[in-house]
A = this chain, B = another copy of it.
């Protein structure tokens, strides 16, 4: 009887070891790396600059990446300068919008520009060699009904390669995009100098 009891004991211990190893394996499988759909929204500062910071991090890790700016048009931004001057090989950069709608005053032209930007974005996202695609201010283009949020969400969920990260920025992100996203961060304005002190937008801070 002692022998059988020892055998039972050994079996139990073995099963516990296997179970532990299996749990560990499952945990590492459940985790691991995955291309994320990331949304930065809210009325506070940091949505675009954070997306741009991720682009620079990716370049630092030698990951090919791409930026499509949906709204900023021909602004002479710091991000445009640094990416086009220093990292044109690592990061494709497209500025498809022609400025805010209150600049252009031409809704059909805005829609055409946003549509062209989205077509370019789809090509970039489909390219499995590109690790990270930033769709800067796409939420604004969607908010103005220049793009269909359902189409954007559907494309991301069905055609994005599994390891590609896509970052969508801009206030008023639509619920369908929040739903599609893996990671959503809302930037909330706690205090802003434009309103409280009348400070203008400044180089290095806002653009």
Contact = CB atoms under 8 A, between A and B. Distances in A.
Contact of A58 (B61, B165, B184, B203): B203
Interface residues of A, number: 66
A191 B182 CA distance: 7
Contacts of A41: 190
Contacts of A60: 77-82, 85
A153 interface: no
Contacts of A78: 56-61
A131 B78 CA distance: 14
Interface of A is mostly: mixed
Nearest to A190: B184
9 contacts: A36-B193, A45-B183, A45-B185, A49-B51, A50-B50, A51-B53, A63-B203, A132-B204, A183-B191
Interface of A: 27, 30-34, 36, 38-42, 44-54, 56-61, 63, 65, 77-82, 85-86, 131-132, 165, 178, 181-193, 196-200, 202-205, 207
